[in-house]
Amino acid sequence: GAGVSQSPSNKVTEKGKDVELRCDPISGHTALYWYRQSLGQGLEFLIYFQGNSAPDKSGLPSDRFSAERTGGSVSTLTIQRTQQEDSAVYLCASSLAAGFYTQETQYFGPGTRLLVL
Amino acid sequence: GIQVEQSPPDLILQEGANSTLRCNFSDSVNNLQWFHQNPWGQLINLFYIPSGTKQNGRLSATTVATERYSLLYISSSQTTDSGVYFCAVVNSGTYKYIFGTGTRLKVLA
């Protein structure tokens, strides 16, 4: 079956604009994760969804960031009033299990490259 | 908060060599994962290993939770093993991964 898909693959926006990034997990995967990786930097965890619920939103970098998941499937990461420091690759992953502390493998999408001018 | 340190930061190997990557963490964890990011950016989840030992082909991992470290072993390395290896931990009672800064591995043919 299809893997995790993300759209758009690339996004260039102007500072101050809002952007929406989309993640389509593997069908049947209950858990969904968002990460970001700034250019040449390491990985930063943003948020985890168990079904449609995110038990901990403290990983989101600021209140300009929000995420939601509907129908236990598609997730959207929204960044309001984008800043240049938001430029990064935003990665989404999904896994089969519903619990955070499980052995289920995370499968990653190709990422969305966001550039804020 | 919990600190995660990986070593070495960079590693260059000849094809066929073995290597050990280390991840130290500063507090108790109940989730530890190893990830590989290839040179084209694709991420693979290698192991979920909060304790004990696991093996998958030429790769194996061991976590000694009481001593707060994990090791990733790569045997008979191949050029396709090149990339960055990250470990990530979850502090007990939280739902947030904390990543180490990674080990960048280059395997030469």
Q: Which pLDDT score is estimated for A2?
A: 84
B95 → closest Cβ in A56, A91, A93: A56
Segment holding B29, helix H or strand E? strand B29-37
Q: Are B70 and B49 within 8 A, CB to CB?
A: yes
Nearest CA in chain A to B95: A56
DSSP-derived secondary structure letter, B80: G
| Among candidates A58, A100, A108 on the partner chain, residue whose Cβ is nearest the Cβ of B43 | A108
pLDDT surpassing 60 at residue B38: yes
> DSSP letter at B67?
G
Per-residue pLDDT at A98:
64
Mean pLDDT, all residues of chain B: 95
Contact B43 A93 (CB under 8 A): yes
Find the range with the poorest average confidence among A18-27, A99-108, B41-50, B94-103. A99-108
Question: Which H or E run includes A49?
Answer: strand A43-50
Q: How confident is the model at residue B4 (pLDDT cuts 50, 70, 90)?
A: very high
**Torsion from C-alpha of A84, A89, A92, A93, nearest 10 degrees:** -140
Asked if the C-beta of A105 comes within 8 angstroms of chain B's C-beta atoms, the answer is yes
Task: Sort out which chain A residues have CB atoms less than 8 A from B37's CB and list them.
Answer: 43
Q: What is the pLDDT of residue A97?
A: 78
SS3 A86: helix
Cα separation, A28 vs A1, whole angstroms: 11
Q: What is the mean pLDDT of residues B58-86?
A: 97
* pLDDT per residue as tens, chain A (117 positions): 589 999 999 999 999 999 999 999 999 999 999 999 998 788 999 999 999 999 999 999 999 999 999 998 999 999 999 999 999 999 999 999 766 777 788 999 999 999 999
Neighbours of A23 (CB within 10 A): 27
pLDDT value of position A113: 97
Q: Is residue A98 within 8 angstroms of chain B, CB to CB?
A: no
Cα separation, A95 vs A30, in Å, equals 6
CB contact (8 A) between residue B101 and residue A56 = no
Smallest Cα distance from A44 to chain B, Å = 7
Surface-to-core class of residue A102, CB atoms within 10 Å of its CB (0-12 exposed, 13-18 middle, 19+ buried) = middle
Q: Is A5 on the interface with B (CB under 8 A)?
A: no
Task: Using the Cα atoms of residue A25, residue A31, residue A32 and residue A38 in order, give the sign of their dihedral.
Answer: negative
> Taking CB atoms and an 8 Å cutoff, what residues of chain A touch B44?
108
Q: Do A93 and B96 touch (CB under 8 A)?
A: no
Query: How big, in percent rounded to 5, are the helix, strand and coil portions of chain B?
Result: 5, 60, 35
CA distance B97 to A32: 13
Maximum CA extent, chain A: 40
Tokens in use for B63? 């976590």
Q: What is the pLDDT of residue A1?
A: 55
